[in-house]
Amino acid sequence: MPDRVLPPRVSESRLRSALRQFESIVGKDHVFTEALDRSTYADKFAIDDNQHVPLGALAPATVEEIQAIVRVAGESRIPLWPISRGKNLGYGGSAPHLSGSMVLDLSRMKKIEVDEENGTVLLEPGVGFYDLYDHLQSRGVKLWLSVPGNSWGSVAGNALDRGAGYTSYGEHASKICGLEVVLPDGDLVRTGMGALTGSRSWQLYRYGYGPCWDQLFCQSNFGIVTKLGLWLMPEPESVMGLDLEFDKQEDLGPLIDALGPLRREGLLQQSPTIGNWLRAAAVLTTRDQWTDKPGALPDSVIDAIRKRFGVGWWGVSLRLYGREGVNRESLAILEKAMNDIGPLSLKRTSWRRGEPLEQTGWVGVPLTYPMQNANWHGGRGGHIGFSPVLPQSGKLAMEQFRRTYRRYQEFGMDYQASFAIGERHMLNINAILFNKDDPEMMKRIDPFMRTLIDDAKANGYGEYRTHLDYMDTVAETYDFNNHALLRLNQRVKDALDPAGIIAPGKSGVWPATYRKERKA
């Protein structure tokens, strides 16, 4: 564990006095400043354990406590890094961008208010996917979640960081409807219809009156979200779909060109994720079971993996949610479109209301087993993601795939990628799996990531989300008119947070007070 780091320009005595005030607000038991606490809140998947070192953590239980903390932090210049459950693995986990920041751990705040009739929930940041799932199941509420591949985290934190799930409600940030937020000066605001005292439609109409702020608190450091409204999917009558495998690398292009129009038209309402052969192998086996050679896996091993798991170069699952008759018609259209490309295998799936649910993300059941892939190389495993946003074009996707796959081979890394087709865009999410106990491998990760980001930028692509280490680099790529967007974000940041205490550096947005640290 690295040494304790103080926040910039904060003396020991100022810190001691702030800690005493924090203790009086949340109680001694909820202020964590021991070495073990610092390691608990560190990034478990860090490429460099000496970066992003938390000073400790505070765990408030109420909005009033958060307001009081923010005021003390502002006066004492102690930066706070809010997390909901802090399981943002691959993007920094619970660790802050700026070393010496106090993590503001909101996982004790776990209230859930469901409106079954309207298909909405209002929840506090500490509510995990498992908490909400159990809440709905135990009460027989006929609403489904959309869960991410690692459902260990919180519903709010995931939506605020623009996480994605498997159902037609899988673009989580787009399902946010109404927030309650503590601003950096301690003021409390409700967005949208929640701004009206006694409002009956806070979770029903996203925009409210005048400028709409919900999305300004996503991937942002403008405030601390204390309640988040979210739309949930009414339990459908039926779920039908296809599980498909495709044999060749070149099948990716036609597959995207077939699925894109169906997605844009709305026949397909979830975001199908096309993934390569490593997905199953990295979860169910470890690399040493396949080879003892370093460098990217050769074709002979790829063939062996494909044979053992019965998978193609690419696989995709498609799902339809809703009325049975409608699904049946849509499925026939999907099946024809897929057969026209010539899949290696095609399997139909079907679920009808009343039948037991499979334990999969397709039906909103939380899951954590995909995280097993961090163990692929053995040792202290981890991963980070490289995730540019692309148009839904088979040609551009093939170019992106070829370019990126070559880079994986050049840097000697095993290729794990997916192409997730959204309503108009496509996310190309590439996982870089590593072993922190392999120093030679760890040396390659940073130049590899930077090369991928540069390649993307050179082709007109930017990333949708990134690890703490690359937040500034990615922000730099959004450079139209001398970084006008970054400058706008910073102007808003400085107006709302003149002391610069909320999550300095999040998404590359630094308050004036710490812009020097950014340069460093």
The catalytic site residues sit at 91, 464-465
User: Is residue 106 within the footprint of ligand ADP (CB under 6 A)?
Assistant: yes
User: Is residue 154 within the footprint of ligand ADP (CB under 6 A)?
Assistant: yes
User: Is residue 79 within the footprint of ligand ADP (CB under 6 A)?
Assistant: no
Residue 122 vs 242, nearer CB to ligand ADP: 122
Alpha-carbon distance 398 to 289, whole Å?
Answer: 30
Residue 82 vs 184, nearer CB to ligand ADP: 82
Q: Which residue in 67, 76, 88, 273 binds ligand ADP (CB under 6 A)? A: 88
Instruction: Write down the H helix ranges in 317-390.
Output: 324-341
Q: Which residue in 54, 79, 119, 157 binds ligand ADP (CB under 6 A)? A: 157
Q: Two tokens at 78? A: 């102690």
User: Is residue 149 within the footprint of ligand ADP (CB under 6 A)?
Assistant: no
Residues within window 225-264 making contact with ligand ADP, judged by CB under 6 A? 225
Q: Taking CB under 6 A as the rule, which mask of x and - marks residues 186-225 in contact with ligand ADP?
A: --------------------------------------xx
Question: Taking the alpha carbons of 187, 192, 198, 200 in that order, is the dihedral positive or negative?
Answer: negative
Please check whether residue 415 is in contact with residue 407, taking contact to mean a CB–CB distance below 8 angstroms.
no
Please give the helix or strand (H or E) that residue 405 lies within, else none. helix 394-410
With a CB cutoff of 8 Å and minimum separation 6, the contacts of 81 are: 54, 95, 96, 97, 98, 101, 102, 103, 104, 503
Residue 8 vs 86, nearer CB to ligand ADP: 86
Q: Given the DSSP bridges, would you call strands 102-105 and 80-83 parallel, antiparallel or unpaired? A: parallel
User: Is residue 366 within the footprint of ligand ADP (CB under 6 A)?
Assistant: no
Q: Taking CB under 6 A as the rule, which mask of x and - marks residues 107-126 in contact with ligand ADP?
A: ------------------x-
Name the minimum Å distance from CB 167 to ligand ADP: 17
- Please list, residue by residue across 289-319, b when 16 or more beta carbons sit within 10 angstroms of its beta carbon and e when fewer do: ebeeeeebbeeebbeebbeebebbbbbbbbb
Q: Is 157 helix (H, G, I), strand (E, B) or coil?
A: helix
User: Is residue 78 within the footprint of ligand ADP (CB under 6 A)?
Assistant: no
Alpha-carbon distance 416 to 316, whole Å?
Answer: 14
Alpha-carbon distance 165 to 366, whole Å?
Answer: 10
Instruction: Select the span of 84-92, 368-376, 470-478, 479-487 touching ligand ADP (CB under 6 A).
Output: 84-92
Name the minimum Å distance from CB 128 to ligand ADP: 7
Name the minimum Å distance from CB 385 to ligand ADP: 13
Total interface residues for ligand ADP by CB under 6 A: 20
Name the minimum Å distance from CB 121 to ligand ADP: 15
**Residue listed under structure tokens 């037609």:** 168
Alpha-carbon distance 377 to 70, whole Å?
Answer: 42
Q: What are phi and psi of 251, to 5 degrees?
A: -70, -15
Q: Given the DSSP bridges, would you call strands 120-123 and 112-115 parallel, antiparallel or unpaired? A: antiparallel
Residue 44 vs 506, nearer CB to ligand ADP: 506
Q: CA angle, corner 146, sides to 321 and 306, nearest 5?
A: 80
Residue 492's nearest CA partner among 211, 230, 228 is 211
Instruction: Select the span of 153-161, 271-279, 293-301, 511-519 touching ligand ADP (CB under 6 A).
Output: 153-161
Q: Which residue in 82, 192, 394, 511 binds ligand ADP (CB under 6 A)? A: 82
Q: Which residue in 8, 86, 184, 504 binds ligand ADP (CB under 6 A)? A: 86
Instruction: Select the span of 27-35, 158-166, 236-244, 280-288 touching ligand ADP (CB under 6 A).
Output: 158-166
Question: Taking the alpha carbons of 150, 155, 158, 163 in that order, is the dihedral positive or negative?
Answer: positive
Q: Taking CB under 6 A as the rule, which mask of x and - marks residues 31-70 in contact with ligand ADP?
A: ----------------------------------------
User: Is residue 382 within the footprint of ligand ADP (CB under 6 A)?
Assistant: no
From residue 341, alpha-carbon distances to 5, 345, 457 in Å are: 57, 11, 31
Please check whether residue 455 is in contact with residue 403, taking contact to mean a CB–CB distance below 8 angstroms.
yes
Name the minimum Å distance from CB 226 to ligand ADP: 7
Q: Which residue in 43, 161, 463, 517 binds ligand ADP (CB under 6 A)? A: 161
Residue 161 vs 463, nearer CB to ligand ADP: 161
**Residue listed under structure tokens 């937020």:** 181
Residues within window 127-146 making contact with ligand ADP, judged by CB under 6 A? none
What is the end-to-end Cα distance of the chain in Å, rounded?
22
Q: Taking CB under 6 A as the rule, which mask of x and - marks residues 423-462 in contact with ligand ADP?
A: ----------------------------------------
Interaction site with ligand ADP (CB under 6 A):
82-88, 106, 125, 153-154, 156-158, 160-161, 224-225, 503, 506
